């Protein structure tokens, strides 16, 4: 056998689901799975009827119009421009249709090209990586309590029950300028990436998330994540997108 390693092509498979939860009358979350171009998104809207759902759907619909780019930087720019366009449209929609009432949506997107992953986000929807049985949060919440934790003023445990735990500091559609954070990382076969709204991680502990991610299929993992959140009386909408890297001749 020679010293040339033949690498089988890596492909990314995904499943997604959303649920209204156990308290809210409306589901204002939206999600997008486009494995054919390597793009996945979860958006968590806010603003009630004709507000939050419009905001999250607009982000997802804009992103669904994108096509694959051979250049990674160009693809990232397209995503940023698409979300910026959604931001501008939501401001106009609010002004014309809702008397200026504030509406908006957080979002988190995962872009994968080759062995590179890119996370783009605004707000507190999250991206996690599950690798070698370890769960890591790759995004960083744009929230008041996250700032307090980073400044060492409160602990992560205290943040969960803080009276301002639901105060976010960034969202699409809430101001003239939207700042999108971008992080780049490597991706490997066997990696699982979890995109979710805060309705999931506020209701499901990390140990429970990992237990669900150990399921044999993505579909069962997604269903168990949603069901665990509901069993734990999720007080918000719950959205989950799960992405896994496999060799092309491996079934899931």
Segments of 48-143 assigned E as strands: 104-113, 116-122, 126-131, 134-137
Residue 3 in this model has a pLDDT that exceeds 60: no
Sign of CA dihedral 204, 210, 213, 214: negative
Residue-level pLDDT at 250:
53
Pairing of strands 10-19, 238-247: antiparallel
Q: How far is CA 99 from the centre of its chain?
A: 29
Write the pLDDT tens digit of every residue in 192-233.
999 999 999 999 999 999 999 999 899 999 999 999 999 999
**Nearest alpha carbon to residue 123 among 244, 243, 239:** 239
| 42-56, 217-231, 238-252: the lowest-pLDDT one | 238-252
Please compute the mean of the pLDDT values over residues 36-50 and round it to a whole number.
Answer: 92
End-to-end CA distance of the chain: 30
The more confidently predicted of residues 156 and 142 is 142
CB 57 within 8 A of CB 34: no
Compute CA distances 168 → 81, 124, 224, whole Å.
22, 7, 27
d(CA 79, CA 1): 44
Instruction: Name the pTM for this structure.
Output: 0.92
Q: In the beta sheet, which residues pair with residue 137?
A: 128
* Burial readout 237-250 (b: 16 or more C-beta within 10 A, e: otherwise): bbbbbbbbbbeeee
């Amino acid at each position: 056998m020679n010293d040339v390693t033949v690498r089988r092509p890596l492909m990314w498979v995904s499943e997604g689901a959303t649920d209204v939860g156990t308290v809210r009358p409306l589901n204002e979350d939206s999600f997008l799975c486009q494995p054919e171009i390597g793009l996945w998104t979860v958006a968590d809207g806010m603003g009630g009827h004709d507000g939050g759902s419009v905001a999250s759907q607009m982000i997802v619909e804009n992103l669904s119009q994108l096509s694959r780019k051979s250049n990674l930087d160009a693809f990232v720019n397209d995503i940023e421009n698409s979300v910026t366009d959604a931001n501008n449209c939501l401001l106009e929609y609010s002004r014309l249709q809702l008397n200026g009432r504030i509406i908006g949506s957080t979002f988190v997107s995962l872009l994968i090209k080759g062995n590179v992953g890119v996370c783009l986000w605004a707000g507190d929807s999250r991206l996690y990586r599950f690798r070698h049985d370890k769960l890591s949060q790759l995004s960083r919440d744009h929230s008041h309590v996250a700032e307090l934790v980073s400044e060492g003023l409160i602990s992560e445990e205290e943040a969960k029950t803080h009276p301002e735990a639901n105060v976010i500091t960034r969202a699409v559609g809430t101001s003239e300028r939207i700042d999108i954070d971008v992080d780049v990382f490597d991706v490997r076969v066997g990696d699982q990436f979890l995109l979710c709204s805060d309705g999931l991680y506020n209701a499901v502990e990390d140990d429970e998330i990992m237990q669900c991610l150990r399921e044999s299929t993505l579909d069962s993992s997604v269903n168990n994540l949603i069901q665990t959140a509901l069993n734990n009386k999720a007080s918000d909408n719950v959205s989950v997108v799960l992405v896994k890297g496999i060799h092309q001749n491996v079934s899931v």
